[in-house]
Structure 1
C-alpha cells in the first residue's frame, strides 16, 4: 500500500467522524467549523503536492511558499478547534 492510498483511505474515517460530530449537535459550533476547515487543508494540500512534484521535482515539504500556504489552513483549523472548546468550557464555568 502506498502513502497516497493510505492518505485517501484515511479520509473516510474522518468524514464519518465529522458526520457523527455534526449529528450529535453537542460539539461547539466554532470547534466544528475548525474540524471542517481541516478538510480545506486536505483538499489544498493534494494539488499543492502535485504542483510541487511537477514544477519543482520535489515534495511539497521542500517548497516553502506552497507548504506554508497549505499549512496555514491546518493552523487555522487548530485555532478554531481550540477556541471553540475554550468558549464552551468558559460558558459551562459561567453557568456554575
Structure 2
C-alpha cells in the first residue's frame, strides 16, 4: 500500500474521531476547534504538496517556505488543543476549590 493511499484512508478514522468528540459534548470547545484545525492543516498541505511537485519538482518537505507555511496550520491547531484543555483544567480546579 502506498503512503498516499494510507494517508487518504487515515482521514476516515479521524473524521469518525471528530464526529464522536462533537457528539459527546464533553470536549472543551477550544480544544475541539484545534482538532478540527488539524483537518485545515491536512487540506492546506495537500495542495501545497501538489504545488511543490508541479512547480519545483520536489516533495513538499524539500521546499522550506512552502512546508513551513503549511506547518503553521498544524502549530495553530496544536496550540488551540493545549489552550482548550488548559482552560478546562483551570475551570475544574476553580470549581473544586469552591466546594
The normalised TM-score by structure 1 is: 0.99
Q: Distance between the aligned counterparts of 2:48 and 2:8, measured in 1?
A: 16
Higher Cα radius of gyration: 2
1:65 CA displacement: 1.0
Consecutive unaligned residues in structure 2, runs of 5 or more: none
Displaced runs of 4 or more, over 3 A? none
Q: Which residue of 2 aligns with 1:31?
A: 31
What CA RMSD, in Å, does the superposition of the two structures yield over aligned residues?
0.4
Q: Distance between the aligned counterparts of 2:51 and 2:22, measured in 1?
A: 33
User: Size of the alignment, in residue pairs?
Assistant: 96
Consecutive unaligned residues in structure 1, runs of 5 or more: none
Is residue 58 of structure 1 aligned with residue 58 of structure 2?
yes
